[in-house]
Amino acid sequence: MRPNTPFRPPFGVDYVLPWSQMNADWLTRHHHGLFWQSGELYSRLLDLFSFGAGEADCGKTNGNAWVTLVTNDSYALGALVLAHSLIRANTIHNLVVLVTPGVTSSMRDQLRTIFNEVKEVNVLDSKDETNLALLSRPELGITFTKLHCWRLTQYSKCVFLDADTLVLQNCDELFDREELSAAPDAGWPDCFNSGVFVYTPSLDTFNALVQFAVSQGSFDGGDQGLLNQFFSDWASQDIGRHLPFIYNMCSSATYSYLPAYKQFGELVKIVHFIGPNKPWLLHFDTETRQVRPPPGVEHLHTLLQIWWDFFCDNVHPTLSPTMAGLAGAFAQMTLGVSRSLEQTALEEHMRKHAWEHGNADYMGVDSFDNIWKKICETLSTKDGEDGVY
């Protein structure tokens, strides 16, 4: 049952970080000009990126839907938290998730417990040598996957949300906006950020987007560059299609412009955890139920804690130890009690996973002092023997 009390997030973060900047050299290396003029290739692409078996488009329902995309089980954890945050905010609209073959059947079952629809979509596998030889653009696999949202023509209007977003307050009013409505990107405000956008499902638009991607590519190698090129008049045509920043507040903004965050923070409705510091990859203390952001992003603690509170209260109790990857590991967590040997071993496994994804806990167990201590212990010999030099 959806709670009647609207969710009011706590605010008051006192840290600051510079605005994230785009790597111009990387953009230059990944810029592509005109290519793929062949109609045969275009037809092949439509086949490659069709809905999965049994997931064909349905007839119109005249309803609206929140839509997200999941390409693996880790991002599915984000999608589950996102869905619960929408429900907590008392949305009246449908919840739809697009999944790729990389999402396991057990995780799909989990998604079905909260989303109204779980639709499989095909994606270009980076290991598919035949299709890679045809396309020569492996990054377009994910780009085209996101474009599938325009094929949900059973809905009158949709709002797409990346799986690393979190809804803090009801924002059903977004469905009153027209296509393509989005918030400015923090890194280049003349472009919109494609983590949140309002759109109208249409097969004509989908086909036009695919054709545009085939002929023009994407200036950043991803969906954001492609969509900004396709909807190139967003910056100048209609100010009504510029969403306020509160509908897609990039998490870095809590540091980059602290005075504005203090002034308008309580108005924020959707937060977007851009960058590598995804909430589910950070160190989490199961005993205290507190997340520990890595150095440099301490300003995110309040927002990250909100994400983890949603996860602990709504998602964690439904996970099974038999699930793959992080989901199975999280299922084995015991919250709010002293750590057992098994719990300590599990947290060590999760810490290793975070380390491998670039989220080391440099101020805690992964600090230099602790690493140096471990090195000394490893190099030391047994009692009574000479040390190793």
| pLDDT: which is higher, 34 or 189 | 189
Beta strands 63-70; 155-161: pairing state: parallel
| pLDDT: which is higher, 114 or 349 | 114
| pLDDT: which is higher, 55 or 236 | 236
Query: Cα–Cα distance between 148 and 142 in angstroms, integer?
Result: 10
| pLDDT: which is higher, 133 or 107 | 107
pLDDT at 305 over 80: yes
Residue 38 DSSP class: -
Peptide bond into 77 cis (omega under 30): no
Domain boundaries, the chain: 24-253, 276-378
pLDDT at 378 over 70: no
pTM given for the model? 0.74
Mean pLDDT over 238-243 rounds to 96
Beta bridge partners of 99: 70, 120
pLDDT recorded at residue 220: 81
User: Do residues 187 and 274 touch, judged by C-beta distance below 8 A?
Assistant: no
The highest-confidence range among 6-20, 43-57, 195-209, by mean pLDDT, is 195-209
Beta bridge partners of 182: 197, 242
- 136 pLDDT band, cuts 50/70/90, is low
Angle CA 145–147–153, to nearest 5: 120
Distances (CA, A) of 282 to 233, 242, 307, 350: 38, 32, 11, 9
Identify the CATH assignment for 24-253 out of 3.90.550.10, 3.40.120.10, 3.10.20.30, 1.10.3720.10: 3.90.550.10
pLDDT recorded at residue 313: 97
User: Percent of the chain scored above 90 by pLDDT?
Assistant: 48
What would the two tokens of residue 75 be? 């991002």
SS3 13: coil
Q: Where are the alpha helices (DSSP H) in the chain?
A: 24-29, 39-48, 73-88, 105-112, 129-135, 140-147, 203-216, 223-230, 253-256, 258-264, 301-310, 325-331, 341-356, 368-379
Query: What does residue 159 show for φ and ψ, rounded to 5 degrees?
Result: -125, 120
Query: Cα–Cα distance between 123 and 195 in angstroms, integer?
Result: 19
What would the two tokens of residue 16 be? 């600051």
Query: What does residue 242 show for φ and ψ, rounded to 5 degrees?
Result: -95, 110
pLDDT recorded at residue 349: 61
- 215 pLDDT band, cuts 50/70/90, is confident
Tell me what the pLDDT averaged over the chain comes to: 77
Q: What is the pLDDT of residues 21-76, one digit of tens each?
A: 333 333 333 333 333 344 555 555 555 555 554 443 444 455 999 999 999 999 99
Query: What does residue 208 show for φ and ψ, rounded to 5 degrees?
Result: -65, -40
pLDDT at 304 over 80: yes
Mean pLDDT over 215-228 rounds to 86
pLDDT at 4 over 70: no
Q: What is the pLDDT of residues 163-178, one digit of tens each?
A: 999 999 999 999 999 9
Amino acid at 358: G
pLDDT recorded at residue 104: 97
pLDDT at 288 over 80: yes
